[in-house]
Copies of this chain bind each other. A is one copy, B any other.
Amino acid sequence: MNVEQLSATLAAVASPQRMLILAELQGGRVHVSELARRVGMSRALLYMHLAKLEASGFVTTSLELSPEGTALKYVALAPFSLRITIDTITDAVAHAAASNQQGETP
């Protein structure tokens, strides 16, 4: 993981709002409108936060059809575990300096 990716990943979780979202999702998957109600924010804003969380792999989403025929976009917590030490950071910095060629799995 290079320094940009690591930074984006940490920034994604370094937000009280997004922590609240993650905590709420621990209870199980929820569709977007319901989640917006629970955490008390507009759907538009929630979409922005979800985009960041999903981009860094903290949540997954899937659009499904309810029995009533209405579309529901479900958001679920993805398993993750981050460990940050000086070595994590130095490695990321070194990778950025070297060459940002190939992908490492985050």
Contact = CB atoms under 8 A, between A and B. Distances in A.
Q: How many copies does the complex hold?
A: 2
A82 B77 CA distance: 21
A36 interface: no
Contact of A4 (B8, B16, B90): B16
Interface in A40-96: 77, 79-86, 89-90, 92-94, 96
A89 B14 CA distance: 10
Range of interface residues on A (Cβ < 8 Å) = 20 to 34
A32 interface: no
Interface of A is mostly: helix
A51 to B, nearest CB: 17
Contacts of A89: 13, 19, 22-23
A6 B4 CA distance: 21
